[in-house]
Amino acid sequence: MSDSETVIREVASGVWTFSRPFSRFGLFPIGGRSTAVKLSNGGVWVLASTKLCPETKTTLEKLGPVEYIVGADAVHHLFLREFKEAYPNAKLLAPLEAVQKPSNSGLKFDGVWGQDSPDTTYGFENDIEHCYFSGFRNRDVAFLHKNSKSLIQADLLMNLPPTEQYSKSKSSPSFFGMKFGPTSWVYSRLMHSLSTDNAAMKADATKVLGWDFERIIPCHGDVIETNAKESWKAVYSQFIDA
């Protein structure tokens, strides 16, 4: 059965996105996106944040064997079980708060950010760096795919409206024409309010700014293809410049 609302795109060499409509509380359209990376060893790394529809599964299986399934933060965990059941040999990783969700009871996790030592490596570091934001309320992890210079993350930066994610949907991606992203002063204030440790946020936001990226792939909203570093700094300047 075809799932016509999933938009599948190779945004850079070896980096695929799976974009779908999603409304927060059934009201605010923010979109959803999974991202897959073809690793240099031939395996596939997946940030799993949307359902494993037939089109997604077919694309992943063409890319290669799924070796890593990643939950990006405390709230992007709803599809981890579905992916793990489809790819039982893949390593499953997520922040501690996601691991502890009742819906993930019984799942075996091979890596747990917030529990593992900060210098723990998981096997994909030749291709993808990671930074766990311990001072962010959702306990997000940011990822850098080095070859494509792509920053991949969930809730650390949104870029709304989610035009691509709603491009095959009959619903509107706009909430009364509101834009919500790096250029919005409201957004940077929101990110500041979600801090639980300003010193940790400063260290981690600064570390990510030092990465070599030209693109930001968010779970919510359109991919940022230009001025990516400027977008990141605009959102986190209150921490970085403090």
Average pLDDT (153-167) is 94
Show the tokens assigned to 205: 């936001």
Least confident of 56-65, 183-192, 221-230: 183-192
Of the pLDDT bands very low, low, confident and very high (cuts 50, 70, 90), residue 198 is: very high
CA 56 – CA 147 distance, rounded (Å) = 23
Residue for token digits 């002063």?
185
Does 2 reside within a domain? no
Which distant-in-sequence residues (6+ apart) come within 8 Å of 23 by Cβ? 29, 30, 171
Domain of 175?
A: 7-240
With a cut of 70, say whether residue 155 has pLDDT above it.
yes
pLDDT higher than 90, residue 14: yes
Mean pLDDT score of the chain: 93
pLDDT, position 178? 62
Select the more confidently predicted residue: 149 or 177. 149
Residue 34 counted as domain residue: yes
Mean pLDDT over 163-191 rounds to: 78
Number of domains in the chain: 1
Is 167 part of a structural domain of the chain? yes
Is 137 inside any structural domain?
A: yes
Is 209 within the bounds of a domain?
yes
Q: Is residue 179 assigned to a domain?
A: yes
Residue 1 lies in a domain: no
Confidence of residue 192 (pLDDT cuts 50, 70, 90): confident
- Domain annotation covers residue 41: yes
- What's 161's domain CATH number? 3.60.15.10
| Per-residue pLDDT at 109 | 98
